[in-house]
Amino acid sequence: MTKKERADFVAKKLAELYPETPIPLDHKDPYTLLIAVLLSAQCTDERVNKITPDLFALADNPADMAKQPVEKIQEIIRPCGLSPQKSKAISGLSKILIEKHNGEVPQNFPDLEELPGVGHKTASVVMSQAFGVPAFPVDTHIHRLAQRWKLTNGKNVTQTEKDLKRCFPEEQWNALHLQIIFYGREHCTARGCDGTVCGICRALYPDRKRAVKTKKA
């Protein structure tokens, strides 16, 4: 198969497996999604969803969050890991949203990426899932699977994002990045598949004998 044929097969198969693409992180608006995505760094979505109800009971908007002591935020989010950095980021970005953006989450990459604790991946999730702007956030699952399916050389997540954007039409990006994550968690896991086990890997590379050594993000 050519790269285009592989990409077309992947898109078709994932659409069959996951016709619906619910956002895994519980939220009610762009702000709560932003906070949930920030918390998900080096933490599972499941754990984040257990923490955010208490956090959002305390404050679920920038104005209320900006009033909270960083120590109080940190106490609630401690189970998510990296709580000192994340609590400062949550407090800081909430204040900036009030001071510079009228309490609203900005709908562009430069302003989002200027917020404390918000990198390109977090901004991409917010832009795609909160505002419907085509983006292709790359997490560890996507980085791993894109290498196993030879849709990227896997140098880094930045290159993987560029390569995947070339492989798939823009209108597929927002759903597809979630579909790949779902598939990576359910079928093509880090330990459960090495590029030779899951259905898509076998379909794309039926003669592959050696495990694929993926480059880390």
88 is catalytic: no
Instruction: Check if the beta carbon of residue 177 is closer than 8 Å to that of residue 128.
Output: yes
Q: One of 3, 95, 139, 162 is an active-site residue; which one?
A: 139
Q: Cβ of 44: how many Cβ atoms within 10 Å? A: 13
Evaluate whether 123 touches 107 at the Cβ level (below 8 Å): no
DSSP for 106-149? -SSHHHHHTSTT--HHHHHHHHHHTT--------HHHHHHHHHT
Spatial distance between the Cα atoms of 215 and 217, rounded to a whole number of angstroms: 7
* 139 among known catalytic residues: yes
Catalytic residue among 86, 121, 163, 194: 121
Q: How far apart are CA 74 and CA 112, in angstroms?
A: 22
| Residues with active-site annotation | 121, 139
